[in-house]
């Protein structure tokens, strides 16, 4: 659809095509990497882990792009996890010898969730945004959506973004790359579509 709107003909294969075709795939992946930073509702996922008194560090999911604020809770109670704990409070806890109280306190340190003085067997859950916004094709499923991944690699791959938004994003990038004089018109159209999608997303929260 994007390529036809530029007056061109789509090739038999994008990922196995000529240099121009591969360039379109690269531009599509640029669009994916840019759009995912907007953190749309479709990227929301849930994750939980269980604490141990012998470990203070817990790795987030491999596809995590960021934790949704105010969603970290102790799943067996009504207690909310203090995340991210204020740096001054964290520094005070490290300097003190006593426990932090009933509330669990946590921060992200070196790409891991650091829990202050964790106890055994506490289940903590939270929401996060996935960075894997592309899906491979798998005929064994209905719809045939397979393993999520970061980038387009085959012609059958699908994605979780608004379709018109992704097309608009690729289109202005393509026209700018190819030297079309009116690429800024398409960029403005992309921004208008982005604002519309983000408005719908905000209303869905």
What's the pLDDT tens digit per position in 71-86?
999 987 878 898 988 8
- The distance of Cα 104 from the centroid of its chain, to the nearest Å, equals 26
Reported as a single tens digit per residue, the pLDDT across 114-152 is: 999 899 999 999 999 999 999 987 656 555 567 899 999
For position 17, what pLDDT does the model report? 59
Say how far apart CA 99 and CA 97 lie, in whole Å. Answer: 7
Helices (H), the chain: 2-5, 19-35, 87-95, 163-177, 183-204
pLDDT in tens, the chain (205 residues): 445 555 555 565 656 656 777 888 899 999 999 999 999 999 999 999 999 999 999 999 999 999 999 999 998 787 889 898 888 888 888 877 655 555 789 999 999 999 998 999 999 999 999 999 999 876 565 555 678 999 998 888 889 999 999 999 999 999 999 899 999 999 999 999 999 999 998 865 5
Say how far apart CA 188 and CA 150 lie, in whole Å. Answer: 26
Token readout for 92 is: 């005070």
For position 73, what pLDDT does the model report? 93
Token readout for 57 is: 């560090």
Tally of CB atoms within 10 A around 31? 25
């Amino acid at each position: 659809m994007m390529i036809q709107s530029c007056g061109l003909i789509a090739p038999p294969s994008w990922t196995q095509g000529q240099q121009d075709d591969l360039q379109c795939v690269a531009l599509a992946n640029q669009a994916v990497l840019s759009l995912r930073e907007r953190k749309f509702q479709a990227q929301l996922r849930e994750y939980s882990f269980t604490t141990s008194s012998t470990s203070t560090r817990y790795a987030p999911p491999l596809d995590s792009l960021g934790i949704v604020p105010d969603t970290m809770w102790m799943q067996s109670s009504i207690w909310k996890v203090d995340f991210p704990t204020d740096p001054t409070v964290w520094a005070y806890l490290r300097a003190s010898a006593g426990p932090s109280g009933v509330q669990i306190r946590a921060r992200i340190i070196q790409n891991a969730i650091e829990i202050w003085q964790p106890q055994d067997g506490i289940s903590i859950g939270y929401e996060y945004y996935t960075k894997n916004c592309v899906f491979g094709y798998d005929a064994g499923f209905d719809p045939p959506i397979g393993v999520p991944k970061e980038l387009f690699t085959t012609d059958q791959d699908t994605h979780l973004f608004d379709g018109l938004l992704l097309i608009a994003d690729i289109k202005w990038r393509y026209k700018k790359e190819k030297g079309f004089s009116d690429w800024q018109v398409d960029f403005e159209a992309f921004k208008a579509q982005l604002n519309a999608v983000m408005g719908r997303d905000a209303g869905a929260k």
